[in-house]
Structure 1
């Protein structure tokens, strides 16, 4: 299952709060419809029924589209220190 770093967890919570996303909402990762092999990240008010909820102690609000889950199983979501503003990167799990 996708893992989420503490930095990414905090960034998701901050972004969701700033955007006025409900408490059950969060960041959804889905396969890109226009670019196969790429992923789209979006703030959503709630997970879709078939989404995988990445949840550690009820604090992580990251949802993974069912079709994208196998490709993300061995990855970690982290923040991108090089990004202008909030940015995320997917890296292999150690």
Structure 2
């Protein structure tokens, strides 16, 4: 199962903390549109049918079924640069979980 670093947990909780968003809001990762290996990441109000849910310390990640298989042994990390831009990265397993 995908693991989340403490940095990813913190960023996801910050991104989804808006009180105007539904309580189940999380980050959804799905496959790209053109069949490439690219992944799309978006804020989602809830998981879609068939999504795998990864939740750590209140941070929710929804994985499309095919993406869940692909990321099964991976670690999701996130960092914020000095300009406030967020960068998510996926690394091979063995990362430091939250």
Q: What range describes the TM-score normalised by the shorter chain of this pair?
A: 0.7 to 0.9
Runs (5+) with no aligned partner, structure 1:
none
Quick check: 1:53–1:62 contact (8 Å CA) kept in 2? Answer: yes
> What's the C-alpha RMSD, in Å, of the aligned pairs?
2.1
Runs (5+) with no aligned partner, structure 2:
none
- SS of 1:61 mapped into structure 2: strand
Q: Does 1:56 align with 2:56?
A: yes
Relative contact order, higher structure (CA 8 A, sep 6+): 2
Q: Normalising by structure 1, what TM-score? A: 0.85
Quick check: 1:31–1:39 contact (8 Å CA) kept in 2? Answer: yes
**Which residue of structure 1 aligns with residue 74 of structure 2?**
75
Q: Distance in 2 between matches of 1:72 and 1:83?
A: 28
Q: Runs of 4 or more off by more than 4 Å in structure 1?
A: 81-84
Structure with bigger strand share is: 2
